[in-house]
A and B are shown apart, each in its own frame.
Chain A
């Protein structure tokens, strides 16, 4: 069965520090991979997605993620965190089919301190 693991429930980083949020997936075929962010009071916003091709994917707000097939990972990174990045981050996987639902991880809450 498809599954997504985000091992870190809560991470705190200092503003300006680098960030890496971990995501591992279990899927029988080549997956589509996504990172979503939910800020307080907001819906889930797509940060970036990986379908195929270059394994380093650039997203919005300065985020990037790297797909590593050998490790079944799709970790999210940002070189310098801003206070406005404090939010909850969700990794998700979707199969190669246009309308099927997403499978999400449990999310990682990011706190940013001065």
Chain B
């Protein structure tokens, strides 16, 4: 079974440009999470989808970030316009619905997208 995939693996853009990151979760996983790691810092939560609905977006840094999950399958995270401080590694994770497989579900992570804003 395929794991969580993310595209692109690397992106280098100029300040002020737009970038869209994509995450394909494991098939059948209703929960999808975005996290970000800025260099030297901890991995921080950005937002959580349950199917196509945003369950929690408390970690989104500002309104330059827009996440979507149309149809409850893959998700995109758009940064517009990008700023220098947006540089980092963006991770996506997915998990099953705990009602079908237990109280806690392991979050499976993708390889991340390394974003560099110049």
Number of A residues with CB within 8 Å of any CB on chain B: 25
Q: How many residues of B contact A (CB 8 A)?
A: 33
Assess whether B55 is in contact with A99, with CB atoms less than 8 Å apart: yes
- List chain B residues, Cβ under 8 A from A27: none
Q: Is A17's beta carbon under 8 Å from chain B?
A: no
A39 to B103, CA, bound (A): 29
A101 contacts B59, C-beta separation under 8 Å: yes
With both beta carbons as reference points, the residue of chain B lying nearest to A105 in the complex is identified as B42
Min distance, Cβ B105 to any Cβ of chain A, angstroms: 6
A102 & B45 in contact (Cβ 8 Å cutoff) = yes
Contact string against B for A residues 35-59, beta-carbon threshold 8 Å, 1 for contact and 0 otherwise: 0100001111110010100000000
- In the bound assembly, the distance between CA atoms of A99 and B97 in angstroms comes to 8
Complex Cα distance, B113 from A43, in Å, reads 10
Q: Which of A42, A96, A102, A105 interacts with B107 by CB under 8 Å? A: A102
Instruction: With A41-B111, A106-B42 given, name 7 new contacts (CB 8 A).
Output: A43-B108, A43-B109, A96-B103, A99-B95, A99-B98, A106-B41, A107-B42
Q: List 30 A-B contacts (CB under 8 A).
A: A4-B42, A43-B3, A43-B91, A43-B109, A44-B91, A44-B93, A44-B109, A90-B43, A94-B104, A96-B103, A96-B104, A98-B103, A98-B105, A99-B48, A99-B105, A100-B48, A101-B45, A101-B48, A101-B56, A102-B35, A102-B43, A102-B107, A104-B35, A104-B42, A104-B43, A104-B44, A106-B40, A106-B41, A107-B42, A107-B43
Q: Which B residues lie at the A interface, using CB under 8 A?
A: 3-4, 31, 33, 35, 40-45, 48, 50, 55-56, 59, 91, 93, 95, 97-99, 102-112
- Partner-B contacts on A (CB < 8 A): 4, 32, 36, 41-46, 49, 51, 90, 92, 94, 96, 98-107
